[in-house]
Amino acid sequence: MSDLVRRRVVVHGHVQGVFFRDSCRREASRRGVAGWVTNRRDGTVEAVLEGDPAAVDAVVGWCERGPRGADVERVEVSEEEPEGLSEFGVR
């Protein structure tokens, strides 16, 4: 598991109501990244991404753009210890 990374991202901007969560789930699944994504009460979207470093970086990069209709202002990224997640879900 030492070759896995885990990053928590919080995406700010117009990111709710634009299919951000489902689009993020599809992007993560396509790249073999596990974790979850959720809408937060403050209007941001939070995601935990765990997997191969290059694949996680690619999904973080996708979060910086988001799906069509999103207007991402900024993304906060923090490193965490991997937990060995095996699936990606929408919360």
Q: Identify whether the C-beta of residue 63 lies closer than 8 Å to the C-beta of residue 72.
A: yes
Q: Tell me, what CATH number does 13's domain have? A: 3.30.70.100
- Per-residue pLDDT at 1 exceeds 90: no
What pLDDT, in 10s, does the model give residues 33-81? 999 999 999 999 999 999 999 999 999 999 999 999 999 999 999 999 9
Q: Which residue reads 């879900």 in tokens?
A: 89
- 41 is known as an active-site residue: no
Average pLDDT value for residue range 22-40: 98
DSSP code per residue over 9-69? EEEEEE-SSSSHHHHHHHHHHHTT-EEEEEE-TTS-EEEEEEE-HHHHHHHHHHHHH-STT
**Is 30 a catalytic site residue?**
no
Domain count, the chain: 1
| 3-class SS shares of the chain: helix, strand, coil, % to 5 | 25, 40, 35
| Range of the structural domain that residue 32 is part of | 5-83
Residue 62 confidence (pLDDT):
98
Q: Is the pTM of this model over 0.75?
A: yes
Per-residue pLDDT at 86? 94
Of 6, 7, 21, 31, which one is the catalytic site residue? 21
Is 79 inside any structural domain?
yes
Catalytic residue among 8, 25, 26, 39: 39
